[in-house]
Chains A and B, each alone.
Chain A
Amino acid sequence: MSQHQEKATIIKIEQFSPNNLRLTLDAPLIAPQCKPGQFVMIQTGIGKDPLLRRPFSLHQASSNGHIQIYFKNVGRGTNIMAHCKLEEKLDVFGPLGKGYDIDIDRPACLIGGGLGIAPLLFLAKRIARTAKDSTQNLIIIGGRSREEVEPLVKDFQQIGMPVHCSTDDGSFGIQGYVTDLFSSQDLPIGSQVYACGPDPMLAVLQRICTNKKVGCQVSVESVMACGMGACLGCNVPSSKGGYVHVCIDGPVFRAEDLVWNL
């Protein structure tokens, strides 16, 4: 695995809602190395404040040297990024972490909640390209309301997998959680679930997958300082005792390897 630190130029800004944005960056060193589920650390400020880089999952990475990140303006770092202009450069470090372990023999079910939708587009494209049989694959995405889901639907539909949507307020797709949508599905035997979203969603999903007896890989989030195993700040409890670190042991884990508190 090869990591790079590069000044990536912003070449496209898509504003999906007042707070949801997608940036396309020209990162020719990083992009070819990326795997679905991996992340990058981006320096949002140019001075000493905010000090630390912010982790972003890779929304897309292409062989032509572009990466995309999809994020929400929620704090100081993302607020700076939300106000970046075209042609500005961001210091990007990556790719980092372990991505999804794609099983090309199994029907895939991708589930994303809120910003957890971000890494699934890259994953869906990779699965569509590599899976032996794509006919049984399925994508489920959801969020609080229409603005968190609808702008991304077209990109997923283009891949050619069926896309099911939910929103908490019912403004788009069915009303409810992605986990409700998921539990109502008749999954093909031997399916593999790939998920990303907030912890409570992943905890419910882990329980459903255990009942349905399907494998479940989850991408979890954590605050991080370094993103590369030096600071040890991003620990999560392991089901085997002790801790694992989101940045180097993850961010994608087999759901049964983590401790879930419902």
Chain B
Amino acid sequence: MNRRMFCWSSAAAAISAGSAAWARMPDAEPVYPTAALPQALTLPPGKLPLYKIVYDRRFPISRAFGISARGLGAATGAEAIDGDVTALWSNDLRLLWSAGGSAHSRGRAVAGMITVHGLLCLEQLAMDHRKRVLLRVEHGAVLAPAPAPAFAPKFSHRVTAPESMLNSLKVALAAADWPARLPALLASSPIDFGRPRHTRLFPVSDGLIAMPAQSLVSFVIV
């Protein structure tokens, strides 16, 4: 009931302590190099019956993800949200997941790139119907503190995925147009919860990628 209290405290602390971090932050987050955006990709042979792709229109990287996802042939296409998952879940995903059948059925997949807390919310609600996050990539995870060389990148992509996907994810995430590459890759996730998943950090090199100020996560829920 009191999530607002936590964030209230955080916001108040940032301001009242004369937070230099807040005071000096640029008004706009780094701009994603839109010139590098490809056209919507066609779907390679995939394994997921894809119901919907979700993206957060507030963030250029997520918008790039969403634009690329439109061509994937998801049953209900790509849907943009503004951070609030209430309507998406209440009017749509709740009905999809409720219709999933028996406890052990595997319904159609939902994939996307939204904020970490948005996914936390969807994940908890999906669990009510025994759905799970099959794959997640946290963009902008901060690497564990050191000692680290001065040139060590501050951000990374933290990937939790089946081992068979790690290498292709690593390659895709190293590319300049990684947000646009991800949707097709997510759509090709193997649906097999029996396979162990592994977590890896793929550092981001300065200058190559514009990392979001927000902590975003790409995911697949099945």
A interacts with B = no
B interface residues (Cβ-Cβ under 8 A, vs A): none
A interface residues (Cβ-Cβ under 8 A, vs B): none
